[in-house]
A and B are shown apart, each in its own frame.
Chain A
Amino acid sequence: MTNEKHYESCAKIEEALGAVLSGDASPAERARVEAHLSSCPVCRATFTDFAPFLARLRKSAQSSPVPDGLAERVLARLPTPASRVVPFPRRIRWAAGALAGLAAAAGFVLIVGRGPVPMRVPSHEPIATLSQAAPEAQSASPAAVSSATAPSEPPPRAAPGAPRRLSSIPPDLLAEAVPEIDNPMERLAEIGSEGIEGEILASIPATDPGDMTNMIENLTDREAEEVLAELQKMEG
């Protein structure tokens, strides 16, 4: 029983012993270790063996020379400079454009920041173009087109908790709303996602898929305001 108690006590001091041996201990940890060692010959023997052992090990451990040209080879693995990092403001403008198109087409609820932000986009150039150049599309989605051609009317909004899916938007309307995306319905099938982020991602060549998703999911409040400001400019 005495031995068991002694073992528990030693086990509890391991964390402080580790801190002291590594040279990263607080004064309280040092005091704990000193108190324990003064009453425990087993740990005292261990400590007096480990401390010089570590000093010897530190002295003798081989360095790990960095191979020549490592940084250059790392840089060569990154995407080419042209597609390496799209400046964030441009990303925001791009996302704003794509999202505005989608919002105008479907009365989207854009999820930004920490909660849903209803987006009111009464008019948008691609939709206006659609109503003039492709009247047949109006029959495909009268509600959506009417919202686009009647700026004074707020667009229909998705019910809370049930945002519209891209797949529910008539293909012609979607293609016109997001001209950057060739054949968006096929792209949707390819990427196996009905999410707005996935659709945006699919239209960005040579960009890591996680990148834009992260950007959209992680917009700060200020960045979200910038997106909305861009949208307002486009409306104007």
Chain B
Amino acid sequence: MTTQESLARARAGDAAAFEGIVREWSGKIYGLAFRMTGDPDASEEIAQETFVRAHAGIHSFRGEASVGTWLYRIAANLCFARSASAGRTVPIEEAAEIRAFSPGPETLTEAREIGARIGAAVAALPDRERAVFVLREFEGRSHAEIAGILGMAENTAKVHYFHAVRALRRRLEDLR
């Protein structure tokens, strides 16, 4: 059964179909929230709330967008709301200890440190740039899908992506 078929059945009252959607998408939604917030607890809460809202509004969802676009949109808006209420952003210096990238083969510890620095740099991007970058790089969404999720023009999504890469390059200038 495709996700769209699951949605149709869920709208008709099939609880198992909605459960299937939760099982298929909860990890992806958590991943988006984690990349957006950098906070595991907040990401879990956002993932849960995304499905609570999706469930409550399932009859208002007309199916013009895909299920994924719909869920990502709810989750992204929750991330933006959290960001606005929390008065983001966490400076990268606080989010991860700044340390020069060491040349040569990485140890496991070094690889983790590099990963943490990248995550912190992504988390420090402005909301829209961060959302576009995360959806493209980590969730594998096309710019057309991203535009639908975030309610922006496709070209705007591409510009946000370019600005995000430029900002990351400045913040991670020693990453080779």
A interface with B by C-beta (< 8 Å): 14-19, 21-22, 24, 46, 49-50, 53-54, 56-58, 60-62, 64, 66-67, 70-71, 73-75, 77-79, 81, 84-90, 208, 210-211, 214-215, 217-218
Q: Do B59 and A214 touch (CB < 8 A)? A: yes
Give the residue of B27, B44, B118, B165 whose beta carbon is less than 8 angstroms from that of A21: B165
Give the residue of A14, A64, A78, A87 whose beta carbon is less than 8 angstroms from that of B55: A78
B interface with A by C-beta (< 8 Å): 10-15, 18-19, 22-23, 26-27, 30-31, 34-35, 40, 43-44, 47-49, 51-52, 55-60, 62, 111-112, 114-116, 118-119, 122, 136-138, 142-143, 155-163, 165-166, 168-169, 172, 175-176
Q: Do B44 and A14 touch (CB < 8 A)? A: no
Q: Do B12 and A18 touch (CB < 8 A)? A: no
> Once bound together, how far apart are the Cα atoms of A86 and B59, in whole Å?
11
Interface centre among A57, A58, A86, A217 (most CB of B within 10 A): A57
Q: Do A81 and B44 touch (CB < 8 A)? A: no
> Once bound together, how far apart are the Cα atoms of A87 and B9, in whole Å?
10
In the assembled complex, 5 residue pairs joining A and B whose CB atoms fall closer than 8 Å, in A order, are A56-B175, A66-B31, A86-B13, A210-B57, A214-B59
> A-B pairs with CB below 8 Å: how many?
147
Q: Do B59 and A18 touch (CB < 8 A)? A: no
Give the residue of B15, B43, B115 whose beta carbon is less than 8 angstroms from that of A62: B115
Q: Do A75 and B22 touch (CB < 8 A)? A: yes
Residues from chain A with Cβ under 8 Å of B51 in the complex = 74, 77-78
CB-CB nearest 4 A-B residue pairs? A87-B13, A62-B115, A18-B162, A214-B60
Q: A64-B35, A66-B26 are in contact. Are A18 and B116 (CB under 8 A)?
A: no
The smallest C-beta distance from B127 to any residue of chain A, in angstroms, reads 17
Give the residue of B49, B52, B112, B162 whose beta carbon is less than 8 angstroms from that of A15: B162
Give the residue of A81, A88, A218 whose beta carbon is less than 8 angstroms from that of B62: A218
Q: Do B169 and A61 touch (CB < 8 A)? A: no
